[in-house]
Amino acid sequence: MGFTDNPIISSPFDPPLFHYELDEEGQPTGVKLPGRRESIQVVPVPAARRRGPKQAELALFDQDGAKVTSNALINEIRKHVNQWRALPPSQWGVTPETQRLLLHWGEPSRARRLFFCQREAVETLIYLTEVAPARFKKQIQDANAEANPGLYRLASKMATGSGKTTVMGMIIAWHAVNKARRPNAKTFSDAFLIVAPGITIRDRLRVLIPSDPENIYEALSLVPTDLLDGVRKARIVITNYHAFMLRETEQVSKLNRQILGGRGPEKTFTETEGEMIARVAPELMGRKNIIVLNDEAHHCYRHKVGSENENGEPLTAEEKEEAKRNEEAARVWINGIEAFSRKIGVQAIYDLSATPFFLKGSGYPEGTLFPWVTSDFGLLDAIESGIVKVPRLPVLDDSIQGELPKFRDVYRYVSKGLPKRGRGKQSKALMDPQALPHLLLQATEALYNHYKATYAAWEAEPDLGRPPVFIVVCNNTATSKLMADWISGYEVTEGEGENAQTRFVPGRLNLFSNVDERGQWLGRRRTLLIDSEQLDSGEALSDEFRTLAADEIQAFKKELRLRNDPRDIDKLTDADILREVMNTVGRIGKLGADIRCVVSVSMLTEGWDANTVTHIMGVRAFGTQLLCEQVVGRGLRRVSYETDPTTGFFPVEYADVLGVPFTFAQQGKNVAPLPPPKVTRVRAMEDRGKLEIRFPNVEGYRIVFPRKSLRPVFTADSKMTLTPDDIPMVTEVEPLIGEGFTLDLRTQANQLRLKTVIFDVAGLLLRTYFKDPDGALQVWRYPELTRITERWFMECLTCAGETVPQFLKWRSLAIKAAEKIYRALAPSLAGPPDGSSGALLPILNPYNPEGTTRHVDFNTSKTTVLATRADKCHLNFVVYDQAWEAGLAARLEGMSEVIAYAKNHNLSFEVPYEFGGETLRYRPDYIVRINDGAAEPLNLVIELKGQRDEKDAAKAETMRNIWVPAVNNFGRFGRWGFLELNDVPYDAAARIRDYMRPLLAAE
């Protein structure tokens, strides 16, 4: 199977194990190579497969024909980070809080696993900040010297759709949690300025505010609940860079300004930098050395000194205008950050962008990678991991295949026939939609015909509730209006004076037509014309665009009234209306839900993240990989993030592209278009409130062992088997020069007395678990612990192969032994929690001590959902991964003893336990409230387990011997128990009843 059959060859959650070989033209050859692709500055652009003159393509080679070189700094940093990541957590060289976060983010059992690229981006920043701050600092400072003088920027290159917002949340959590625990540490900060390129992203980034109801820290479980208080203390300001522009403090005419200001500078009437900072970020006043997070940071840099035309080639009028806009945006953005640096102090700037390249007008060659980029997970990496859709040329009708190379870069062939910027200056004939170049209309209609098949497939899913989206990106306002009119219909006036008659011309593309069969405007528009750049700046719409979109705006205002929107519709600006439509495309029940086609002036702004885009049509110039990736990136967000259970990979999804000379698989297979998966809302039902299940949010355990003798209870889970897999016994060492030699651990181990190893393990047990409240070791327990440890060696330790008990001198194995002995001692704590016979109590989350099913409300595209009985479960569905999980739910619903139950999916019920010297958390499968005949119901935690390993044993022992007794001793959460089912639950009901009988007898 080659690249065109299925380009996904890696799991999105793990480091890439393979990558596709690229040929000399940057095309995937279909040959899988082991390992990860090194970071290089290249985005493959395939040649069109046709005979004849070769089409102009984006350069993959420099002027001398040499291939673009690898990104040396990124690759060197990546090598060190990989080596560091492979170390045991105790050797990471980071703070305990950072270690806790890293383990939490990498936990495979998370309900929502984080992508490897997300973890790698933050791991790289942690490595450069905590682990080896001096190793690459000089290189990074030199990289910043020209474009960011005096600032320390680190950039993470992450493909569109790979989750940059999540990475920003992880960065904030890392700094804020550490600062809360170490207020005097200069390495960390709890003050953050987040800068976005426009209002669209600014509003979307509100999830980074900890107080937001949908905040990302809790929604994605980015922070362990006991560390959330540190994040809540952080001061976070989110703004768009336009806010950095110094505003007029007084409205003064030019003449009066000259009179009042004399010969002095006019900035007298403009706010100072301090006033701007107080306006933009009053929450940060008084804080020092803040952290700046730049989203889509390719807009921010200082213009290169002494370079006006980076390529030495003449620019067209459109290119000059684009360069001017880019330069102005970059100047405002970097000036604002420099002002914060001067007035408050900026500790570090973290850039996140899919395309961290210098733009046209920067003074640098357009598309040059920012030299301060430290990690790179590019578009081809994201495609091979399945994180984004695959951009491809659609398979078109045979009759037009001869035009395919022209369709790839259609603007190049039709630009002379398109109107120039400014509609008012065009002749009436040129502003006729029917007079658009034939090749452009043919290409658009060809792509539309492909769209129709996709639309039909989606329409066949009655519960889907949203159409696929077709986007058209145009070069200017005049072209966009003509394209929108041709696609969706328009109004034309014929005749003059009293003889003038108005009629509606239906759209040429029926599914996108805003004109109905009666020749009237549709109540709900199907095609949207927008100028995303104007909308995202926050400024008022230009008179030109407002005139063009007048009918559209009125139609959406009418629809808002029909929806009984609580806002005062007349007070909403035109920009507010269009911005809401644009930002809700593809969202069921929202104003933009029915939009099928979006025609955009210039670029579709970053942050426009509709995941229902299936087709993209480019009608503008594309001179670099940067522009191509920015436009195509608007359509690459996946619809579904459910992995294929047979492979663990994401299924492939496609975005079909014409008019943009950029794609990885030129055509690929003609696969049938698939609709997105049905989304199911899982939530607590209001009419089932009596079935609510509550549970304690336990963060740890307070343990005071009794002063009398300890009584270990060794069980099957206390046993430990040593095998050669646990530690290599024989290692062959081959030096570069000279004779090799052999290290044999058995020889060293046999030289140790077994008693010495037992003493060492007992000492580790004492130091780890037996301390007074003031931290002093309970040394008087050492003889008793030595006897208990010796008994464990005799009864529970098995040595397989050629291993020997002395191998427990190795710390990693000794830690496992100490944990098992400790859990076996937990039954010694039975009795009143007054310290006389021991105390075992839970440590609850101080901010959220109790969890409940009442707050469950989420959407899932999983198809493995089971509708629940209204008299048994507070939630309307059970989401399951394995069939036996659904089988257990069915059996629970059939038991008369079961009062209520809930599957622990997005319920946030977690149990802390220790394994390998680390504190981890796990999520049991079910909570079941049972009437077992006692005075109050039993809350039974059920864990389903097939194959069982050492970690599973640690979980079960912790639940049985520590969590359940601690919660029951506490007394505020009722009665609790734990049952582990190791087989397919055919006899689950009988097993549960067997568990209940001893409890009834004890009662």
Q: Report the alpha-carbon distance of residue 812 to residue 366 in Å, rounded.
A: 52
**Smallest Cα–Cα separation from 594: which of 488, 716, 693?**
488
Residue 799 makes CB contacts below 8 A (sequence gap 6+) with 721, 722, 805, 807
For residue 23 the two structure tokens come to: 């040929």
**Residue 609, phi then psi, degrees to nearest 5:** -120, 35
172-176, 283-287, 636-640: range with lowest mean pLDDT: 636-640
Please give the average per-residue pLDDT across 313-324, as a whole number.
70
Confidence (pLDDT) at 693: 95
User: What sign has the CA pseudo-torsion 388, 393, 396, 398?
Assistant: negative
Beta bridge mates, 504: 491
Measured at the alpha carbon of residue 514, what is the angle toward residues 511 and 516, in degrees to the nearest 5? 85
Confidence (pLDDT) at 352: 94
DSSP 832-898: -TTTTS-EEEEEE-SS--EEEGGG-EEEE--S-EEEPPTTTBSBSEEE-SSHHHHHHHHHHHT-TTE
**Residue 330, phi then psi, degrees to nearest 5:** -65, -40
**Counts for the chain of helices (H) and strands (E), in that order:** 29, 34
Please give the average per-residue pLDDT across 594-602, as a whole number.
85
**Smallest Cα–Cα separation from 226: which of 910, 903, 771, 904?**
910
Q: Report the alpha-carbon distance of residue 249 to residue 510 in Å, rounded.
A: 52
Q: Is the pLDDT of residue 101 over 90?
A: yes
Please give the average per-residue pLDDT across 544-553, as a whole number.
64
Confidence (pLDDT) at 696: 94
Mean of all residue pLDDT scores within the chain:
81
Residue 47 makes CB contacts below 8 A (sequence gap 6+) with 25, 27, 54, 55, 57
Q: Report the alpha-carbon distance of residue 923 to residue 926 in Å, rounded.
A: 9
Residue 389 makes CB contacts below 8 A (sequence gap 6+) with 161, 635, 636, 637, 638, 653, 654, 655
Q: Report the alpha-carbon distance of residue 532 to residue 474 in Å, rounded.
A: 11
Contact at 8 Å (CB) between 27 and 20?
no
Residue 792 makes CB contacts below 8 A (sequence gap 6+) with 712, 714, 718, 817, 820, 821, 824
DSSP 934-959: SSS-EEEEEEE-SS--HHHHHHHHHI
Higher pLDDT, 893 or 645: 893
Largest CA distance in the chain: 113
Amino acid at residue number 60: L
Distance of CA 159 to the CA centre of its chain: 11
Beta bridge mates, 857: 683
Contact at 8 Å (CB) between 127 and 81?
yes
Instruction: Dump pLDDT digits (tens) for 237-296.
Output: 999 999 999 887 766 566 665 655 555 554 456 889 999 999 999 999 988 889 999 998
Instruction: Dump pLDDT digits (tens) for 32-89.
Output: 899 998 988 753 333 333 333 333 333 333 333 334 578 899 999 999 999 999 998 8
Q: Report the alpha-carbon distance of residue 96 to residue 844 in Å, rounded.
A: 20
Instruction: Dump pLDDT digits (tens) for 54-65.
Output: 333 333 333 333
Instruction: Dump pLDDT digits (tens) for 825-861.
Output: 876 655 544 334 457 888 887 767 889 999 888 878 7
Higher pLDDT, 754 or 839: 754
**Smallest Cα–Cα separation from 640: which of 630, 649, 631?**
649
- CB 249: neighbour CB atoms within 10 A? 12
**Per-residue pLDDT band at 306 (split at 50, 70, 90):** low
Q: Which of 63-67, 326-330, 459-463, 750-754 has the highest mean pLDDT?
A: 326-330
**Residue 943, phi then psi, degrees to nearest 5:** -115, 125
Domains of the chain, by residue range, sit at: 72-260+275-310+342-384, 409-415+431-637, 691-698+840-1002, 707-828
**Per-residue pLDDT band at 400 (split at 50, 70, 90):** low
What is the third-level CATH fold of 72-260+275-310+342-384? Rossmann fold (3.40.50)
Residue 161 makes CB contacts below 8 A (sequence gap 6+) with 382, 387, 388, 389, 609, 633, 636, 637, 638
For residue 246 the two structure tokens come to: 């110094």
Confidence (pLDDT) at 57: 38
**Residue 281, phi then psi, degrees to nearest 5:** -140, 65
Q: Is the pLDDT of residue 16 over 90?
A: yes
Residue appearing with tokens 């039909």: 456
